[in-house]
Structure 1
């Protein structure tokens, strides 16, 4: 069991690494292609890439479910409404996040995006989920960190930071929706539908508001390739497989390392340097995530 758990947690760590590093190609792509067009390519191609993975991982699980005589809610048709809802939230969150990279740095965007981990239990309150004082302490710490991280003298950067913050809210809603749906439908099919729907919505929005060209997509080919392969198909599959066997408290802490990987990748590949003040802000945000999840998994309501 310990070995199984260690393997699961390694998969989650790799997923967090792929997602953290992803802010670099996302930022680089903005020099070549418009934000919504970029999302259209990365999500639609990523969704297509996930379809063979669904069949590869799904065949065995379906056989087991059939043998046990359980009610299999795994057909594509049954997963379509839920996947479409998730695709809408993903489209909204990803659009805000991607546009924000025109104004702010990859590292900052990565850190502020991590705030969604704290927003999940807070928004969950309105759905009747329980929470405790540790969550509120974590949110307070992270908000102080966010205040330190925000640069009020740079108007353009502040606009970018606020857009990422809005995207974190949307991602929190998406996570709560996914949490409800994955217990009722096949998670990988939901994911593939979610990515395809998000890709189509991004394409429509791009055609309406941007001037997308094939040349721009070609110029941004390697960032698109990284996003569709590593950030979409592989990382999502790793997260799904990892969350089956990882301890929930460990899983959340590992996933929050995405923020740290984003800052490290921004420094390593884009020469983005954080000031001492910004580093303090990042530290407080990370501490807030840890405090919140430590409390949630050691509190009395479980």
Structure 2
């Protein structure tokens, strides 16, 4: 939190050169977050070889909840009933996203999982039509087309046979849940304290993860040290710290600008998968990744043009 607090102490107007450099600093922090998030795909995949998926999720989100509760304890004292209710609703989608992604990573590569998860970017404007009555700009439909075509190519191997199994299907469900999460946040967040809402979401995710441990019949065992190390990193850095920076950064930069930066996450996930884990992608799959990335960027630009 040191970097965030240092920047926080320098808050002033966002006009002129000072405002420009402030935005650049927050941009850089968000890019750093995408590196962290990109690395988590490989971390999760390795961790669930040591501990069951829901057990790992309960470890991660319990740590994150405790961290947020300690850091923002004074704000949580003033939490409202509305924040508890709406945060719980949103938390269901957060849990669904992470549960589907974590289980899916048992059956697919980190590279594929990263890019399939990134499909939430073009999915958001489509869902916003039905849930928010917000109609997307025409350019967004081009982004949806690119992403859909990319999804098809990502499902083909070098022999041009279908290579889309249960892992890819689960991660696609994660992308849908991520999109629902973003849309519901847009619907409920304006009248709520962002930190309180976030803490409730993460807390609900922790509770649902713990409940899933018992429902799924996962064995209750003491996790090995490497799994706890991953859970600490994921809970403190990739969740508590990252969400705190996100909430603060988007006070200075637009959500569209932030979303375009977040689109770097699958690229980092793919890079970590190839360089560290030695994963390979078929040529059609590589073209699919590029099209999905293009779809995310085009969708973000389309939303930016509409908002002007």
* TM-score, normalised relative to structure 1: 0.88
Q: Is the 8 A contact 1:142 1:284 kept in 2?
A: yes
Does the CA contact (< 8 Å) of 1:33 and 1:219 recur in 2?
Answer: no
Q: Is the 8 A contact 1:112 1:168 kept in 2?
A: yes
Q: Deviations over 1:48-97 (max 9, x none)?
A: 111233248x59xxxxxxxxxxxxx9525442111111111111111111
Number of matched residues? 286
Q: Is the contact made by 1:135 and 1:291 (CA closer than 8 Å) also made in structure 2? A: yes
In the other structure, the counterpart of 1:146 is: 151
C-alpha distance in 2 between matches for 1:76 and 1:14: 33
Q: How many Å separate the matches in 1 of 2:299 and 2:25?
A: 25
Per the alignment, in what secondary structure is the counterpart of residue 223 of structure 2? helix
CA distance in 1 between partners of 2:153 and 2:209 (Å): 33
Residue aligning to 2:89: 85
* 1:18 alignment partner, one of 16, 28, 36: 36
1:53 aligns to what? 71
Query: What is the TM-score normalised by the length of structure 2?
Result: 0.87
Tell me how far 1:217 sits from its aligned partner.
Answer: 5.5
Higher relative contact order (CA 8 A, sep 6+): 1
Indicate the structure with greater helix content.
Answer: 1
Q: Does the Cα contact within 8 Å between 1:115 and 1:142 map onto a contact in 2?
A: yes
Matches within 5 A, 1:223-242: 223-242=230-249
| Aligned residues: CA RMSD | 2.0
Which 10-residue stretch deviates more, 79-88 or 283-292?
79-88
Q: Distance in 1 between matches of 2:242 and 2:111?
A: 19
Q: How many angstroms apart in 2 are the aligned matches of 1:84 and 1:218?
A: 31
Q: Secondary structure of the equivalent of 1:182?
A: helix
Name whichever of 270-279 and 217-226 sits farther off: 217-226
SS at match of 1:215: coil
Matches within 5 A, 1:191-210: 191-210=198-217
2:125 to 121, 126, 134: 121
SS at match of 2:173: helix
Matches for 1:102-117 after TM superposition, within 5 Å: 102-117=106-121
Q: Which runs of 5 or more residues in structure 2 are unaligned?
A: 1-18
- The answer to whether the Cα contact below 8 Å between 2:156 and 2:284 also exists between their aligned partners in 1 is no
Q: Is 2:180 the partner of 1:173? A: yes
